[in-house]
């Protein structure tokens, strides 16, 4: 059966946008939660550059550490860039942290405090509930009312918290001056299922916060311990639709962070764009790969080659059926053109390569066409297959393939 191009459609025709009745804002934590990942670090200059790059893709808020000298140097450099994005300090519920944020000239802060009994009894076993609420009230009031800072409060381990206590905690910080409450899925326990109950059902949590608390805004911050961080972040956004004017998503670029990391900024944005019709990020999606490469170089983080969208192999094809398909029509094995996110298609030559891929690579290198029954093509295909008969696993490099062509007097 032959189908017309109209019947096949273009790549956009396979997405059915589901509009949201809420404005999703990205609150990127690459420079706070992300850099807590073991083994990575960035200089003040590179930290400021990362902030500038994040600002350039439409991130609305950037969260950053500010307690060590290099961090404070980075904050000064970031302020000097006059970014469109709001820049916020991250604090514990300690007045000294607020003072540090003020010294760094932040206009807003996030104040993190545990809300699960697991954390509360581990950290302050001798404090009563009243003592804990009084403690956080003092710090939030100091930041919001005494110092005039915009305040987000982060409910650490929210997805294992007792709702009766957490509800009281949220109302307390709201009265103290907090404008947004961050649901922190600290250990990646959250569920996206609309029917999942409290405390770990994200839709249920968002609905309960809206219905039973005084806080004006909500934010979702999820970890990827079970691989569900993007899914649960999107679940929070969808749950906020129709309830809030805006909802914040706390993410990190490439998902870097402690343990399994966080919801990836780029994945959340692409899902919002492709599935939910959020167009405000569209003009800057092509910058994603450049940002990924810079973060890798600046922090020492090695981007997995098969990382969705931004890995070097995210649009790579080697097996015969895949290479043949994508050469015939990229839609066969590519959801959207790699250029959308600044990446590029790669046809590698290796054990799984078929004649179509090898022919394409030859034509690319030589600059002329070859018939599928050309003896020169048959010879090169045979040479490639022979290499892999001896147990080689890695794909051929450009220079190795060029050497074969040279030895066959093709180039």
**Residue 92 and residue 109: Cα distance in Å, rounded?**
10
**Residue 184 and residue 177: Cα distance in Å, rounded?**
19
Q: Work out whether the CA dihedral 314, 319, 322, 327 comes out positive or negative.
A: positive
Please say if the pLDDT value at position 29 is more than 90. yes
Which position has the higher pLDDT, 317 or 138? 138
Phi first, then psi: give them for residue 94, nearest 5 degrees: -140, 130
Q: With bands split at pLDDT 50, 70 and 90, how would you rate the model's confidence at 356?
A: confident
Domains 20-280 and 316-407 share a fold: no
**Of the ranges 39-43, 292-296, 374-378, 389-393, which one carries the lowest mean pLDDT score?**
389-393
**Residue 220 and residue 211: Cα distance in Å, rounded?**
17
Please say if the pLDDT value at position 374 is more than 70. yes
Does the pTM surpass 0.85? The reply is yes
Tell me, what's the pLDDT at 3? 63
Question: Average pLDDT in the 13-40 region?
Answer: 96
Question: Average pLDDT in the 119-141 region?
Answer: 95
For every residue of the chain, which 3-state class applies, written as one string? CCCCHHHHCCHHHHCCCCCCCCEEEEEECCCCCHHHCCCCCCCHHHHHHHHHHHHCCCCCEEEECCCCHHHHHHHHHHHHCCCCCEEEEEEECCHHHHHHHHHCCCCEEEEEEECCHHHHHHHCCCCCHHHHHHHHHHHHHHHHHHCCCEEEEEEECHHHCCHHHHHHHHHHHHHHCCCEEEEEECCCCCECCCCCCCCCEHHHHHHHHHHHCCCCEEEEEEECCCCCHHHHHHHHHHHHECCECEEEEEEEHHHCCCCCCECEHHHHHHHHHHHHCCCCCHHHHHHHHHHHHHHHHHHCCCCCCCCCCCCCCCCEECCHHHHHHHHHCHHHCCCCCHHHHCCCCEECCCCCCCHHHHHHHHHHHHCCCCCCCCHHHHHHHHHHHHHHCCCCCCCCCHHHHHHHHHHCCCC
**Residue 347 and residue 243: Cα distance in Å, rounded?**
47
Please say if the pLDDT value at position 96 is more than 80. yes
Question: Average pLDDT in the 95-121 region?
Answer: 97
Please say if the pLDDT value at position 341 is more than 90. yes
Q: Within 13 Å of residue 134, how many CA atoms lie on the same side as its CB?
A: 5
pLDDT digits (tens, 9 = 90+) for 292-302: 999 999 999 99
Please say if the pLDDT value at position 208 is more than 90. yes
Tell me the fold of 316-407.
Answer: Recoverin; domain 1 (1.10.238)
Please say if the pLDDT value at position 348 is more than 90. no
When the candidates are 3.20.20.70, 3.40.50.2300, 2.30.30.30, 1.10.730.10, the CATH number that belongs to 20-280 is: 3.20.20.70
- 188: which 2 tokens? 């990646």
Phi first, then psi: give them for residue 126, nearest 5 degrees: -100, 0
- 358: which 2 tokens? 């090898």
Question: Average pLDDT in the 84-101 region?
Answer: 97
* Mean per-residue pLDDT over the chain, rounded: 94
pLDDT digits (tens, 9 = 90+) for 246-274: 999 999 999 999 999 999 999 999 999 99
Phi first, then psi: give them for residue 109, nearest 5 degrees: -140, 155
Q: At what angle do helices 229-240 and 265-276 cross, to 10 degrees?
A: 50
- Please give the share of the chain, as a percent, with pLDDT higher than 70: 99
Tell me, what's the pLDDT at 22? 98
Q: With bands split at pLDDT 50, 70 and 90, how would you rate the model's confidence at 330?
A: confident
Question: Domain coordinates of the chain in residue numbers?
Answer: 20-280, 316-407
Cα separation values, 211 from 116, 157, 158, 176, 226, Å: 21, 21, 17, 19, 29
**Residue 253 and residue 295: Cα distance in Å, rounded?**
8
- 18: which 2 tokens? 């589901």
Tell me, what's the pLDDT at 2? 67
Which position has the higher pLDDT, 346 or 85? 85
**Of the ranges 3-7, 109-113, 122-126, which one carries the lowest mean pLDDT score?**
3-7
pLDDT digits (tens, 9 = 90+) for 221-237: 999 999 999 999 999 99
CA 250 vs. chain centroid, Å, equals: 9
Please say if the pLDDT value at position 6 is more than 80. no
Question: Average pLDDT in the 366-390 region?
Answer: 89
pLDDT digits (tens, 9 = 90+) for 47-67: 999 999 999 999 999 999 999
């Amino acid at each position: 059966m032959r189908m017309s191009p109209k019947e096949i459609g273009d790549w956009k025709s396979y997405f059915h946008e589901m509009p949201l009745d809420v404005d999703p804002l990205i609150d990127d934590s690459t420079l706070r939660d992300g850099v807590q990942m073991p083994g990575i670090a960035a200089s003040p200059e590179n930290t400021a550059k990362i902030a500038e790059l994040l600002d350039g893709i439409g991130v609305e808020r950037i969260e950053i550490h500010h307690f060590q000298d290099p961090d404070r140097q980075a904050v000064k450099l970031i302020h000097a860039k006059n970014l469109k994005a709001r820049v916020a300090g991250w604090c514990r519920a300690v007045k000294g942290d607020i003072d540090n944020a003020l010294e760094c000239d932040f206009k807003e802060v996030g104040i993190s405090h545990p809300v699960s009994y697991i954390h509360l009894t581990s950290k302050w076993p001798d404090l009563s509930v009243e003592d804990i609420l009084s403690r956080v009230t003092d710090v939030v009031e100091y930041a919001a009312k005494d110092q005039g800072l915009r305040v987000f409060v982060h409910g650490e381990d929210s997805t294992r918290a007792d709702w009766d206590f957490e509800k009281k905690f949220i109302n307390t910080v709201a009265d103290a001056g907090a404008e947004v409450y961050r649901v922190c899925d600290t250990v990646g326990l959250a569920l996206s299922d609309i029917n999942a109950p409290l405390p770990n059902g994200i839709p249920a949590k968002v609905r309960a916060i809206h219905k039973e608390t005084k806080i004006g805004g909500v934010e979702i911050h999820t970890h990827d311990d079970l691989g569900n961080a993007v899914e649960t972040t999107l679940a929070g956004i969808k749950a906020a639709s129709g309830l809030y004017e805006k909802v914040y998503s706390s993410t990190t670029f490439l998902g870097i962070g402690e343990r399994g990391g966080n919801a990836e900024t780029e994945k959340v944005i692409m899902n919002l764009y492709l599935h939910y019709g959020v167009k405000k990020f569209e003009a800057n999606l092509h910058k994603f790969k450049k940002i990924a490469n810079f973060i890798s170089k600046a922090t020492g983080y090695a981007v997995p080659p098969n990382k969705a969208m931004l890995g070097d192999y995210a649009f790579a094809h080697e097996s015969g059926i895949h290479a043949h398909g994508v050469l015939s029509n990229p839609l066969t094995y590519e959801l959207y053109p790699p250029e959308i996110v600044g990446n590029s298609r790669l046809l590698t030559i290796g054990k799984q390569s078929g004649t179509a891929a090898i022919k394409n690579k030859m034509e690319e290198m030589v600059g002329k066409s070859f018939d599928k029954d050309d003896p020169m093509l048959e010879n090169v295909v045979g040479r490639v297959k022979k290499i892999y008969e001896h147990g080689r696993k890695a794909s051929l490099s450009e220079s190795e393939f060029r050497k074969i062509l040279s030895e066959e007097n093709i180039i």
